[in-house]
Amino acid sequence: MAASVAQVLSPGVGWAVVICLGVAFSGLMLLIIFVQNRYAPTAHGSADNDEFSSASRSVKPGLIACGIVSAWTWAATLEQSAAVAYKYGVSGPYWYAAGATVQVLLFAIIGSNLKLNAPFAQTFLQVIRVRWGKPIHCMYVAYSLGTNVLVSSMLVLGGAETVNALTGMPVLAAGFITPIGIACYVLIGGLRASFVADYTHTAVLVAIILAFGFTVYGSSEKIGSFSRMEELLRSAAPVEGNAKGSYLTMRSQNGLIFGIINICGNFATVFLDQSYAQRAIASRGESATKGFLLGGMAWFAVPMAIASSLGLAARALEGNDPDMAILSASDVSAGLPAPAAAAALLGKSGAIMMLILLFLAVTSALAAQLVAVSSVITFDIFQPYIKPNATGKQLFFVSHAGVCFWAICCGVLGLIWKYIGVGLGWIYVMMGCVVGPSVFPVFACIAWSRVNKTSALVGTLVGEVCAIVAWLVSASQLEGELSIDTTNANNPLLAGNLIAVLLPVLIIVPWSLISPDNYDWEGTRAINAPWTKTNSQTSSTHEDTSSQDEKVPSGTPPNEKATLAVAEKSAGEPGYNVEVAGYERLHLLRSAGLDPEKLVASRRMAYRAAIVLTFVLVIFIPCMTVIAETWTAAGLGVWISIVLGWLFVTAGIVVVLPLWESREALGKMLKGFAKDLAGGKGKATP
């Protein structure tokens, strides 16, 4: 890579990675399903629709956290974080990571409310349909699928362009083969397969990023130390908008603007993406809160580490090393600083590592997208509007068909962006302007009993129009013309993103305080609830209290045999009652691992932890790091040491914790396997 971003591997390597890894994961899923069905079967079975779309709602916090890290690690996470490090210096990785972590932390609030207010729902959109009706539901289905269009096409485009840049494999081939290969293993195993793939992908991903980090700051002859990195970055200065023109400062005007754009834009890609709600739905009871908080903090280290190593290395080596490509603006927008730096530092080995890293990021995140869109098609389009009385088999078929349909769409959408000349960076930063106005209404619908339905509709539509107008007019007036390049400028994007996210809040909150709806959540709690299916049976089978008392769990207070009422107050709410009418509901809830009192406590923890951690990441740490105008080699060393140490903590959360939580199931599998080897019968029953 002496003069340009050119391939360093043969096209055959690209074909091998894209095809062979897809086949390998499909085979792995078949093996896992066989092992699960034989040694640790679920009550539902692998062919059940609830198992396919929500993993039987039995996933523990560690694997939820692993799934969140995997779903939130896109090709853009690895490429664009390094690109902003290349452009802005040390502030870029931080604002990328912090600006995309707070949404996951705050989604813990939505996750806990979903478990409390709609414990048996299959999608967050079902809550909107029951609470606000079909017209508004249709609007938010469009927003949700629009978010999936942008995210899925970004994943495919980023992966295909990187494979092409490193190997010369045609973008068209990589763009279509990748989603089809992913669809194969998702069809085999559903959401549980996605979680297992998440674990495998994330373990490898963390290991490779650690290898890159220690190469850049330890073993590399081209950099190899904090002092050498500091020396090279000082020689690369100045950069416009940074204190003293230095890459070694958090006092970066453009870095801060990017951070604000990043925060606003990523709210939509988390809050409107069913793949995150899918993980809350799949969680076991109150573990949704723990899973999202752990997942958010674990994910933070991923973009921070790769951007602080490969992103800064790309800037440091450019012009100083003959193996480092000279990157154009379009190369940077396409996210190529990281692949270029990897190839410059480690040659073909670095290129192969980067290729595997990006392929795993694309496959794991895209697998989550396939299951998410399939669920929306099944439960928010087919079931309510096409065939309300659909059988379980029909829903199961539509779920699988939805996976196939979206896999094909992903390839088409990614290539559309490619051939109209739109880069990965432009799609990433413009998302907030387009889908951002729906963020607060969705949050309020799930988490705020007083929100007014009409205010949500008006706030969304007004916010949409004003955000797009502000974005395009600002680009035209401030940059002199309206084009892809001018709409990608920081100031127009800042205006559009801020209006998109904040204007609906300014409309909805006062309106709802003046004219609240005061929703009681009974309708949303009845979505797919067991008691809606068994009321007729229980009325005939529980005619006397003695037969009912036989099923009362030991330690249940007498008043809970009739009604459970949990008074609960939270910040911003006057309080409401969680009412379970009749003992049967309480019994069914607890048998499903849903204790209302624990769910209320979990929700309180979600509010407190998410708000505190958001304050620390967005306000406290930046204020502390700008005290020094520019950093010395020692300051850079402390910063990078913290980042790599945090990545080891991430490894503990997403690699070690899931194994520890599953130790009993793994033990049963090993015992069953040992019995089979000894000639006995190792097959287990649910």
pLDDT at residue 191, rounded to an integer: 64
Q: What is the pLDDT of residue 329?
A: 84
Cα dist from 376 to 52, 140, 608, whole Å: 13, 11, 31
> What's the length of the chain?
686
For 113-150, the pLDDT digits (tens) are 888 888 888 899 999 999 999 999 999 999 999 999 99
Half-sphere exposure for 162 (CA within 13 Å, toward CB): 39
With b for 16 or more beta-carbon neighbours within 10 A and e for fewer, the 151-174 pattern comes to: bbbbbbbbbbbbbbbbbbbebebb
pLDDT over 70 (residue 572): no
- Rounded Cα distance, 116 and 45, in Å: 26
Residue 593 has a pLDDT of 60
Amino acid, res. 439: V
pLDDT in tens, 271-301: 999 988 888 887 776 678 888 999 999 999 9
Which among 264, 274, 271 is positioned nearest to 433, based on CA atoms? Answer: 264
Cα–Cα distance for residue pair 607/596, rounded to 1 Å: 17
Distance, CA of 401 to CA of 403 (rounded, Å)? 5
Residue 680's pLDDT is 67
Residue range 230-252: average pLDDT? 92
- What's the confidence (pLDDT) of residue 594? 66
Closest-CA residue to 157 (of 521, 423, 369)? 423
Q: Which residues contact 617 (CB under 8 A, 6 or more apart)?
A: 98, 101, 102, 105, 300
| CATH of region 11-317+333-393+610-677, choose from 1.20.1730, 3.10.110, 3.90.25, 1.10.287 | 1.20.1730
Task: Compute the distance between CA of residue 139 and CA of residue 437 in angstroms, rounded to an integer.
Answer: 12
**Is the distance from CB of 144 to CB of 442 less than 8 angstroms?**
no
- Contact predicate 174/164, CB 8 Å: yes
pLDDT at residue 18, rounded to an integer: 85
Indicate if the pLDDT at residue 548 is higher than 50: no
Instruction: Look at residue 581 in the predicted model and tell me its pLDDT.
Output: 42
Helix 348-376 to helix 61-72 angle (10° resolution) is 110
Average pLDDT over residues 469-495: 90
Percent of the chain having pLDDT more than 90?
Answer: 42
Mean pLDDT of 579-592: 52
Q: Is 631 left (phi over 0), alpha (psi -120 to 50) or beta?
A: beta
Comparing CA positions, the residue from 28, 27, 32, 67 lying closest to residue 46 is 32
Distance (Å, whole) CA 333 – CA 340: 13
